[in-house]
């Protein structure tokens, strides 16, 4: 294995929206910045093929009373179930306009026909307070990559960061090339984690097509897993979400459709719209994300997104935005199959479970370890969140370096580097063994059956034991034929670590909250209006309660 040591001030692990924004800001402030990206920053991650809603607060549009918008966010069911600190949301609101102005300047069009356009994710009667700004994000990644390179950021594509190097602070990381026999030691003063969501912990809604997931399947919770192993606090790991969209053609973007959700009786399911309306879409799926699944269980399905009766202009409008929302493949598929949305409704389904907890960071993007920052889907998703907290991570990493002049001696980390290298070489060196696929199938089956939609203490405890046994086996037997398979094996091992935190947290949250359903504790307990922190000590994994600070 060739080993290359890279020295810099800041390492951004992950070159998605958050990672690139962090890199741009840190470089602006004079730091030497490197980005290590598992794929290629031009098209990688959840934002890789575009997004079309930038949730934001624009004083000229929304007025100066930011508090009423803050209240709306904090009280929404999603954020209530995450119990997140209010300061976090205030910061996002306050900074979102600055970010969108920058993006517009750099070449990501934030206006439509010369004006701010708000549509989708909006309930009739509440249009004036909508924060769902439409923007043309298809090329956001090439634009951000260009901005980073322009500032001298060095990007290492096809490099998967596999372990953090920390003593009492973050001093670097280890990475592997996903194609060549090469390992990287990043020797830096601060590390920013922006490796995105944790997909693939649960099976796809089409299990035979494992990577048919609603978000980027290459984001396997690597940042969370390596942070956890380094003793960093994770939060609300028991929480999970469900998406909805076209049946079997799994893709996010439900708020971009301009149709009406109807049952087989052709009646609108929700109370919001009766015919296609470009301003609203059908907000029923925001209020009821598991609608299609609940209908199926109740024997009331199928459920359709019905665009019939839509005007030509509105259909063109919808397709324009679906193209920016990473749904080009879907539009092409409909065209190839001769499906005309003006004539045919499209069946929708609830997409499988995805893990929602993440790395706990505050409004300055600081994690529980000095010099280590996190942003974006590492904690809580959405484009503007990734942009704002990525930016702040870059800014605060540089401030930390300037104020504390941290030691970059990673020689004392040699033991850790050797251990990472040994595990990699073991996986590559085995003559016989299990494939990443076998291990992933076993893990996903366990997660679905024991930590899925219904969770009880005995089932969770049995599942935890099963997972721990499987993880041991995977560690002992996984085998990769090449570096691409190595990346997949390491991703699965990370998912095993995350899976364990999900079980431990789900056992501890003895209540029903949002999608975390405990038939043995069937109500939401106000005494548990708290965050659940999960962290590893030298000897054990600890799960503890924390008040969300105001
Ligand atoms: C189809 C679709 C539509 C969406 N639409 C919207 C929308 O309209 N509005 C909105 O607000 N949000 C939307 N989202 C969510 C939004 O895209 C994400 O919240 C956002 O991209 C998060 O940015 P991020 O940088 O945290 O993660 P990502 O953009 O996913 O970037 C993570 C990066 O880390 C890399 N990586 C992962 N592991 C490693 C590793 N070990 N080492 C190195 N690199 C690694 C990945 O390859 C990836 O490039 C949508 C998502 C999807 C999938």
Which residue matches tokens 């493949």? 329
Helix (H) or strand (E) holding 532: strand 531-536
Q: What integer pLDDT is reported at residue 410 of this predicted model? A: 66
Q: How far, in Å, CA of 164 to CA of 462, rounded?
A: 31
Query: Which ranges in 200-252 belong to alpha helices (H)?
Result: 222-229
Q: Is the pTM of this model over 0.95?
A: yes
List Cβ neighbours of 101 (8 Å cut-off, separation of 6 or more).
Answer: 110
User: For residue 44, which atom of ligand 1 is closest to its CA?
Assistant: 49
Buried b / exposed e across 276-289, counting CB within 10 Å, b at 16+?
bbbebbbbbbbebb
List Cβ neighbours of 25 (8 Å cut-off, separation of 6 or more).
Answer: 390, 391, 392, 393, 394, 395, 398
Q: How far, in Å, CA of 328 to CA of 285, rounded?
A: 21
| 161 Cα–ligand 1 center, Å | 16
Residue where a domain stops, chosen among 324, 353, 382: 353
Tokens of 370: 């000095």
Is residue 9 assigned to a domain? no
Q: What integer pLDDT is reported at residue 531 of this predicted model? A: 93
Q: What integer pLDDT is reported at residue 76 of this predicted model? A: 73
Tokens of 208: 């035979």
List Cβ neighbours of 167 (8 Å cut-off, separation of 6 or more).
Answer: 412, 413
Is residue 323 assigned to a domain? yes
User: For residue 256, which atom of ligand 1 is closest to its CA?
Assistant: 8
Q: What integer pLDDT is reported at residue 548 of this predicted model? A: 82
* 425 and 345 in a common domain: no
* 340 and 419 in a common domain: no
Q: Please tell me the residue having the least CA distance from ligand 1 atom 12.
A: 382
* 517 and 426 in a common domain: yes
Give the torsion sign (CA, 337, 341, 342, 347).
Answer: positive
Is residue 177 assigned to a domain? no
What domain count does the chain have? 3
* HSE-CB for 444 with a 13 A CA cutoff: 26
List Cβ neighbours of 394 (8 Å cut-off, separation of 6 or more).
Answer: 10, 12, 21, 22, 23, 24, 25, 26, 27, 28, 29, 31, 33, 192
| 343 Cα–ligand 1 center, Å | 34
Mutational pocket test of ligand 1: of 45, 193, 487, the residue with most ligand atoms within 8 Å of the beta carbon? 45
Q: How far, in Å, CA of 479 to CA of 498, rounded?
A: 21
Residue where a domain stops, chosen among 90, 120, 136: 136
Is residue 197 assigned to a domain? no
Q: Please tell me the residue having the least CA distance from ligand 1 atom 53.
A: 215
| 126 Cα–ligand 1 center, Å | 29
**Main-chain dihedrals φ then ψ at residue 203, nearest 5 degrees:** -65, 155
Side by side, the strands of the sheet bearing 303-306 are: 240-246, 346-355, 303-306, 260-262
| 250 Cα–ligand 1 center, Å | 16
User: For residue 383, which atom of ligand 1 is closest to its CA?
Assistant: 11
Q: What integer pLDDT is reported at residue 221 of this predicted model? A: 97
Mutational pocket test of ligand 1: of 51, 249, 330, the residue with most ligand atoms within 8 Å of the beta carbon? 51
Which residue matches tokens 């920013």? 192
* 422 and 343 in a common domain: no
* 329 and 442 in a common domain: no
Q: Please tell me the residue having the least CA distance from ligand 1 atom 2.
A: 252
With beta carbons less than 8 A apart as the criterion, state whether 471 and 496 touch. yes
Give the torsion sign (CA, 55, 141, 496, 204).
Answer: positive
* 333 and 424 in a common domain: no
Longest dimension (CA), the chain: 69
Q: Please tell me the residue having the least CA distance from ligand 1 atom 19.
A: 382
Q: What integer pLDDT is reported at residue 506 of this predicted model? A: 98
| 75 Cα–ligand 1 center, Å | 25
Which residue matches tokens 């529980």? 368
Q: How far, in Å, CA of 214 to CA of 250, rounded?
A: 5
Is residue 71 assigned to a domain? yes
User: For residue 36, which atom of ligand 1 is closest to its CA?
Assistant: 43
Which residue matches tokens 């294995």? 1
* 437 and 527 in a common domain: yes
- Give the residues surrounding ligand 1 with Cβ less than 6 Å away: 13-19, 36-39, 44-47, 51-53, 55, 160-161, 194-196, 215-216, 218-219, 222, 251-253, 325-326, 376-377, 381-383, 386
* 337 and 249 in a common domain: yes
HEC readout, 462-517: HHHHHHHHHHHHHHHHECCCCHHHHHHHHHHHHHHHHHHHHHHHHHHCCCCECCEC
* 538 and 440 in a common domain: yes
Containing structural domain, residue 260: 242-353
| 528 Cα–ligand 1 center, Å | 30
User: For residue 384, which atom of ligand 1 is closest to its CA?
Assistant: 11
Residue where a domain stops, chosen among 115, 136, 157: 136
Q: How far, in Å, CA of 239 to CA of 506, rounded?
A: 8
Is residue 211 assigned to a domain? no
Q: What is the CATH number of the domain that holds 538?
A: 1.20.58.100
Report angle CA 397, 400, 405 to the nearest 5 degrees. Answer: 120
Is residue 505 assigned to a domain? yes
* 340 and 438 in a common domain: no
* 344 and 427 in a common domain: no
Mutational pocket test of ligand 1: of 13, 14, 495, the residue with most ligand atoms within 8 Å of the beta carbon? 14
Mutational pocket test of ligand 1: of 20, 163, 196, 321, the residue with most ligand atoms within 8 Å of the beta carbon? 196
Task: Report helix, strand or coil for 333.
Answer: helix
Q: What integer pLDDT is reported at residue 151 of this predicted model? A: 98
Q: What integer pLDDT is reported at residue 411 of this predicted model? A: 67
* 420 and 298 in a common domain: no
Is residue 204 assigned to a domain? no
Mutational pocket test of ligand 1: of 18, 35, 46, the residue with most ligand atoms within 8 Å of the beta carbon? 46
Tokens of 364: 């300055």
Q: Please tell me the residue having the least CA distance from ligand 1 atom 23.
A: 17
Residues of the chain with pLDDT under 50: none
| 359 Cα–ligand 1 center, Å | 15
Q: What integer pLDDT is reported at residue 514 of this predicted model? A: 86
Q: Please tell me the residue having the least CA distance from ligand 1 atom 37.
A: 195
With beta carbons less than 8 A apart as the criterion, state whether 47 and 16 touch. yes
User: For residue 13, which atom of ligand 1 is closest to its CA?
Assistant: 43
| 350 Cα–ligand 1 center, Å | 20
As a 3-state breakdown, the chain gives helix, strand, coil percent values, each rounded to 5, of: 40, 20, 40
């Amino acid at each position: 294995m060739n080993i290359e040591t890279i020295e810099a001030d800041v390492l951004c692990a992950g070159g998605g929206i958050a990672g690139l924004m962090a890199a741009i800001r840190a470089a602006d402030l004079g730091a030497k910045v490197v980005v290590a990206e598992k794929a290629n920053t031009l098209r990688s991650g959840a934002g890789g093929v575009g997004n079309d809603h930038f949730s934001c607060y624009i004083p000229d549009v929304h007025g100066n009373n930011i508090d009423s918008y803050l209240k709306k966010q904090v009280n929404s069911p999603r954020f209530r179930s995450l119990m997140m600190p209010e300061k976090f949301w205030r910061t996002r609101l306050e900074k979102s306009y600055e970010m969108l102005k920058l993006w517009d300047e750099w070449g990501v069009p934030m206006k439509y026909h010369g004006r701010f356009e708000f549509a989708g994710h909006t309930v009739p009667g509440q249009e004036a307070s909508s924060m769902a700004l439409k923007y043309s994000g298809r090329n956001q990644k090439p634009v951000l990559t260009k901005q980073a390179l322009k500032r001298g950021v060095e990007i290492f594509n096809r490099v998967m960061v596999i372990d953090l190097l920390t003593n009492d602070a973050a001093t670097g990381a280890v990475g592997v090339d996903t194609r060549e026999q090469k390992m990287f030691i990043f020797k830096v003063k601060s590390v920013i984690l922006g490796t995105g969501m944790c997909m693939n912990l649960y099976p796809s809604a089409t299990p035979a097509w494992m990577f048919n997931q609603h978000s980027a399947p290459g984001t396997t919770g690597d940042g969370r897993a390596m942070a956890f192993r380094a003793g960093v606090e994770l939060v609300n790991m028991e929480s999970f979400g469900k998406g909805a969209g076209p049946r079997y053609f799994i893709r996010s973007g439900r708020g971009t459709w301009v149709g009406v959700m109807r049952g087989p009786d052709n009646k609108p399911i929700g109370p919001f719209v009766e015919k296609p309306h470009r301003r609203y879409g059908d907000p029923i799926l925001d209020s009821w994300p598991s609608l299609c699944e609940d209908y199926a269980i109740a024997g009331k399905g199928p459920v359709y997104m019905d665009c019939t009766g839509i005007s030509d202009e509105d259909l063109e409008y919808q397709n324009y935005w679906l193209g920016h929302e990473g749904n080009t493949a879907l539009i092409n598929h409909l065209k190839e199959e001769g499906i005309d949305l003006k004539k045919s409704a499209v069946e929708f389904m609830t997409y499988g479970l995805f893990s929602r907890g993440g790395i706990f960071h505050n409004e300055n993007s600081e994690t529980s370890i000095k010099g280590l920052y996190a942003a974006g889907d590492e904690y809580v998703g959405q484009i503007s969140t990734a942009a704002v907290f990525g930016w702040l991570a870059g800014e605060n990493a540089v401030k930390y370096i300037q104020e504390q002049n941290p030691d970059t001696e990673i020689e004392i980390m040699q033991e850790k580097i050797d251990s990472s290298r040994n595990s990699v070489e073991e996986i590559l060196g085995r003559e016989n063994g299990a494939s990443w696929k076998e291990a992933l199938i076993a893990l996903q089956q366990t997660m679905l059956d024991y930590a899925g939609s219904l969770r009880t203490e005995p089932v969770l405890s049995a599942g935890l034991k099963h997972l721990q046994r499987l993880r041991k086996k995977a560690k002992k037997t996984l085998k990769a034929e090449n570096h691409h398979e190595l990346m997949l094996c390491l991703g699965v091992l990370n998912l095993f670590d995350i899976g364990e935190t999900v079980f431990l947290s789900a056992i501890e949250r003895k209540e029903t909250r949002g999608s975390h359903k405990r038939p043995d504790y069937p109500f939401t307990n106000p005494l548990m209006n708290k965050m659940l922190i999960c962290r590893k000590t030298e000897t054990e994994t600890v799960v503890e309660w924390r008040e969300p600070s105001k």
